[in-house]
Chains A and B, each alone.
Chain A
């Protein structure tokens, strides 16, 4: 679809804003509407739009399969790692308050943000992987 000028230009214009909005939704999750899953899906939508218009090869140039596989596992690892870290610091699993015993609210904000990052990374990369596996080869489009 690279020869479709309108789609190409609009995609180039929109993808950065989609990625920024996805990160905003991920980081905003513990205070308002949003969260890791929704933000990760918006991030993935940005990548998938880029891949649809510019082709899978261009998408793989900066987001190769090895990187998405690594990040999909790394997000889960970050989630579980936060939980295990709270256990090692003397609390229960995902008991965020132990991160900052003098201000439990701050510790909870930090722990929740890290968990949201983990969820967002995993959801985004898994969505991109699903698109990768079910999309047609480029010469058929």
Chain B
């Protein structure tokens, strides 16, 4: 097994692990805002790790530079767009007045989005 295959396997497996934990977090987290943590962050990093691992599997990197360039472009745009989508969803919910989850009886930190000036 060549060294690049070992590196690629480690990165792809790590990416799959992050995607799995992201899915578990989607099921386990209590409300909308907290669910966006696993959905937004874990899936972004997991996809980036899988794609980076695939880049290590490209044979003859000098001749196949176009494949590497396409993978790099996908990674760059994924890093830009995935957090933007998460931000857009979160801000839409916040402006619509959805309140963050809190433990029963926890009165600290209560604020309503329609009473705030800075949004």
A residues whose Cβ falls under 8 Å from a Cβ of B: 4, 6-7, 10, 13-14, 17
A–B pairs, 16, beta carbons within 8 Å? A4-B88, A4-B91, A6-B84, A6-B87, A6-B88, A7-B84, A7-B87, A7-B88, A10-B80, A10-B81, A10-B84, A13-B80, A14-B77, A14-B80, A14-B81, A17-B77
- Bound state CA distance, A6 and B90, in angstroms? 12
Could you tell me the distance between the alpha carbons of A10 and B91 in the complex, rounded to whole angstroms? 15
A6 to B91 CA separation, bound complex (whole angstroms): 11
Nearest to B76 among chain A residues (CB) is A17
Taken together as a complex, chains A and B put the C-alpha atoms of A10 and B77 apart, in Å, by 10
- Docked complex Cα distance between A4 and B84 (Å): 11
B38-70: CB near A (< 8 Å → 1, else 0) gives: 000000000000000000000000000000000
In the assembled complex, the Cα of A1 lies from the Cα of B85 at a distance in Å of 14
Number of A-B residue pairs at CB separation under 8 A:
16
Whole-angstrom CA separation of A6 from B83 in the bound complex: 10
> How far is A53 from B80 in the complex, measured between Cα atoms in Å?
16
Given A4-B91, A7-B88, output 10 extra A-B contacts at Cβ < 8 Å: A4-B88, A6-B84, A7-B84, A7-B87, A10-B80, A10-B81, A13-B80, A14-B77, A14-B80, A14-B81
For B84, the chain A residues whose CB sits under 8 A away are: 6-7, 10
Taking CB atoms, residues of chain B closer than 8 Å to A14 are 77, 80-81
Give complex CA distance A4, B91 in Å.
Answer: 9
CA distance A7 to B77 in the complex (A): 14
List of A residues within 8 angstroms of B81 by Cβ: 10, 14
CB distance from A19 to the nearest CB of B (A): 14
The closest CB in chain B to the CB of A7 belongs to B88
Residues of A within 8 A of B91 (CB): 4
Contacts of A7 in B (CB 8 A): 84, 87-88
Point out the residues of chain B lying under 8 angstroms from A17, CB to CB. Answer: 77
Alpha-carbon gap, A17 to B74, bound state (A): 12
**Which of B81, B87, B88, B91 counts the most chain A CB atoms within 10 A?**
B88
